[in-house]
Amino acid sequence: MKKLLVLGVGNILLMDEGVGVHAIHALQKEEWPENVHMVDGGTFTQDLFHVLEGYDGLLVLDIVHADKDPGTVYIFDEDDLVKNDSQRLSLHDIDLLDSLEMAGTVGKRPRMRVIGMEPKSYTEWSLELTPEVQKTFPHFLNVARKEVNRFLEEFKED
């Protein structure tokens, strides 16, 4: 059975920077098939390749800086990130792409997709998301649920 890793990354101490981790915590409370694993990656994405072992899909939840309105939700395939240097996923994207490359050298490389949200504040200290991001947070979770199901459907087709 093919497996999916849903990885929330970010720093919950820096307001919207932690949206991916907040999302994982919310999604972990829900029922998921046994081949879907929800993991809080925090800010540790360096040398994460060992965590990726054995997965066919990787869905990353993070912030994205694309100069749109705070709370804007984005979906990127890995190719979108590699080809478009103007899309930035906070500080974690480079480490994640490196970890994917390393996973490929030691074994199977999962297919990655990213769901990101435009932050309003990611430098101020607070455990709370900004009101703009809080307002869009339920939509962010719904997009994540749909992408999990999309991966599961793609697994059936493979």
- pLDDT for 40 beyond 90: yes
The domain of 38 spans: 4-157
Q: Give the count of beta carbons closer than 10 Å to the beta carbon of residue 63.
A: 28
- pLDDT for 91 beyond 50: no
- pLDDT for 83 beyond 70: no
Identify the residue with better confidence: 103 or 151.
151
Distance CA 123, CA 6 (A): 25
Q: Note the Cα 41 to chain centre separation in Å.
A: 9
- Average pLDDT (14-36) is 97
Identify the residue with better confidence: 59 or 44.
59
- pLDDT for 47 beyond 90: no
- pLDDT for 111 beyond 60: yes
Report residue 43 as tokens. 């800010």
Q: Which of 76, 91, 78, 82 is nearest to 18 (CA)?
A: 91
How many domains is the chain partitioned into structurally?
1
Q: Return the CATH number at 140.
A: 3.40.50.1450
**What tens digit of pLDDT does each residue of 119-146 get?**
999 889 999 999 999 999 999 999 999 9
